[in-house]
Amino acid sequence: MTDKKTSLQGHPNGLMTLFFSEMWERFCYYGMRVLLTLYLVKSLMKGDAEAALIYGAYTGLVYAAPILGGKMADKYLGYRNAVLLGAILMAIGEFLILGGSEHFLLFGMGALIIGNGYFKANISTIVGKLYEDGDPRRDSGFTIFYIGINIGALLATTVVAFVGETYGFKYGFGLAGIGMLLGLVIFYLGRHTYSAAPGLGITEAGKKKAFGPLNYATVVSIVSLLIVPVAYYLIQHNSWMDYILLGLFLFISVVLIKAGIDADTKEKVKIWRDRMIALLIFMIINIAFWACFEQAGTSLTLFADRNVDREILGWEMPASMTQFFNPFFIIVFGSIFSVMWVKLSKIGKNPSIPMKFALGIFQLALGFLVTLVGLQFVNDSYQVPLLTLLFLYLLHTTGELFLSPIGLSMVTKLSPKHIAGTAMGAWFLSFAIANYVGGKIASLTGGHGDSGEALTVAEGLEKYTTVFSTIGFVLIGIAILIALFNKPLKKLMHGVE
């Protein structure tokens, strides 16, 4: 049974506890991420391409880790314990970065990766479990939850970005770590508000003895710490990620389709199998969207640093701070979209999930094409106006609102209950692949030519806008393709709206 007590707009009480816990966790994650590329290039003296690949490997592993985190929570730890373990590891990771060297950075990244794997998949799963099946508030609830994510991101991309670039990167990373500790305290002290959600405690399998006095839940926690050096190695040798992510995708595809077949009954032949196939298709679409969207932390930040006029009334906005446009617009439009989906549903005009994905990708495409408009207003320093990034991020954000919160809710609807955590982990795998591919795309925009010579500011501007406009035209083609296959996709979903 879910919690019948309600709070904001009639939603379950626990939603606000999870909202604030996730908000501070995102402050931690985005606080580190907003500074990472500039820290690699300006403090650790990495080249653009190398920094982009390190960034892509790190963010890729961050989103791959929920496969492990979701599976271990489903089988041994329970969702609440997994989130607590994740929060502790993320805080440790953030403070390790303060060591100031590449080794401390990589160990800190490793702890953040494993911690995020436990936190991210399982807090989203708890949100889904606050609602009964078929509850019309679920999409709205996930959109509210998504606003919490973006308040954290907004605080990170303003406060942490400003502090990190103005006073020193270590102060920014330290602030992010303090944010994670706040999220941990809120989640723990508010545990009674979401206590009616099923699957929170250690499972029966987790309580069984593994070695001597240690049960399986304890062993899983210890092994998680030992995986941190593995993450360190994979970030350093990121070419291994090609094989690992492809292998994981093939593995999770088999797991999901098998789970769907096993869940089918005589009355519901092939329904769950078809839904799992639909989920895999949406994962591929999700990869296309986020590989391009995630240029924000790499190529778009370096573009802002070099080719965007960021002066406002005599004050120059730090380059990393331009990332604040996205969470700002999410907060402005998030509530509007949340209400809009409910109202459109009531009058029977709510677009299907495939059409929402197509429209989201189309808006992302238009955002990249805005850079071509910015080229018409270049100043003498070969910089486009700051409004170029404002409109780019505005379109990226409205595209995101068509796709991302809807995607989280869709996973909880399409997947059989007994693999809820695994399915959510699989969904985050698509983000992992997207972030890694995004790093590879960003490496194409670097500040060096084909022969290795440094590009002039003018040549850099031409290279950035050429890559960004190419991304835009490719995305338009993908959006049209999804729209054409709207009906077959809806058929595979068997009534999931």
Residue 449's pLDDT is 60
Q: Residue 176 falls within a domain, yes or no?
A: yes
The enclosing domain of 393 has a CATH number of 1.20.1250.20
Q: Residue 81 falls within a domain, yes or no?
A: yes
Confidence at 1, pLDDT banded by 50, 70, 90: very low
Q: How many CA atoms lie within 13 A of 404 on its CB side?
A: 22
Q: Read off φ and ψ for residue 383, nearest 5 degrees.
A: -120, 135
pLDDT tens profile 63-73: 888 878 888 99
Beta partners for residue 215, in sequence order: 209
Rounded distance, CA 463 to CA 446, Å? 8
Number of domains in the chain: 1
Confidence at 2, pLDDT banded by 50, 70, 90: very low
Q: Residue 487 falls within a domain, yes or no?
A: yes
Of residues 268 and 204, which shows the higher confidence score? 204
Q: What is the average pLDDT across 95-108?
A: 94
Residue 226, pLDDT > 50, answer yes
Q: Residue 179 falls within a domain, yes or no?
A: yes
Q: Residue 3 falls within a domain, yes or no?
A: no
Rounded distance, CA 141 to CA 144, Å? 5
The number of residues making up the chain comes to 497
Residue 391, pLDDT > 90, answer yes
Average pLDDT of the chain to the nearest whole number: 90
Rounded distance, CA 354 to CA 483, Å? 7
Contact criterion met (CB below 8 Å) for 93 and 109: yes
Rounded distance, CA 247 to CA 253, Å? 10
Q: Residue 337 falls within a domain, yes or no?
A: yes
Of residues 270 and 157, which shows the higher confidence score? 157
Residue 264, pLDDT > 80, answer no
- Tell the burial category of 27 from Cβ atoms under 10 Å away from its Cβ (0-12, 13-18, 19+): buried
Rounded distance, CA 106 to CA 228, Å? 9
pLDDT tens profile 109-135: 999 999 999 998 799 889 888 887 777
Residue 5, pLDDT > 60, answer no
∠ CA 258-259-262, rounded to 5°: 85
Rounded distance, CA 389 to CA 464, Å? 13
Confidence at 277, pLDDT banded by 50, 70, 90: very high
Of residues 405 and 463, which shows the higher confidence score? 463
Residue 229, pLDDT > 50, answer yes
Of residues 138 and 106, which shows the higher confidence score? 106
Q: What is the average pLDDT across 24-37?
A: 95
Residue 89's pLDDT is 96
Q: Residue 265 falls within a domain, yes or no?
A: yes
Minimum mean pLDDT among 59-68, 77-86, 99-108: which range?
59-68
Residue 186's pLDDT is 96
Q: pTM of the entire structure?
A: 0.88
Domain that holds residue 180: 11-493
pLDDT tens profile 147-187: 888 899 999 999 999 999 999 999 999 999 999 999 999 99
Q: What is the average pLDDT across 187-194?
A: 92
Residue 28's pLDDT is 96
Q: Residue 6 falls within a domain, yes or no?
A: no
Nearest CA among 466, 467, 469, 461 for reference residue 378: 461
Confidence at 40, pLDDT banded by 50, 70, 90: very high
Rounded distance, CA 471 to CA 334, Å? 26
Residue 8's pLDDT is 61
Residue 16's pLDDT is 92
Q: What is the average pLDDT across 221-227?
A: 93
Contact criterion met (CB below 8 Å) for 31 and 172: yes
Residue 494, pLDDT > 70, answer yes
Q: What is the average pLDDT across 230-235?
A: 95
Tokens of 95: 């403070």
Residue 483: how many other CB atoms lie within 10 Å: 15
Rounded distance, CA 370 to CA 270, Å? 44
Contact criterion met (CB below 8 Å) for 446 and 37: no
Residue 7's pLDDT is 59
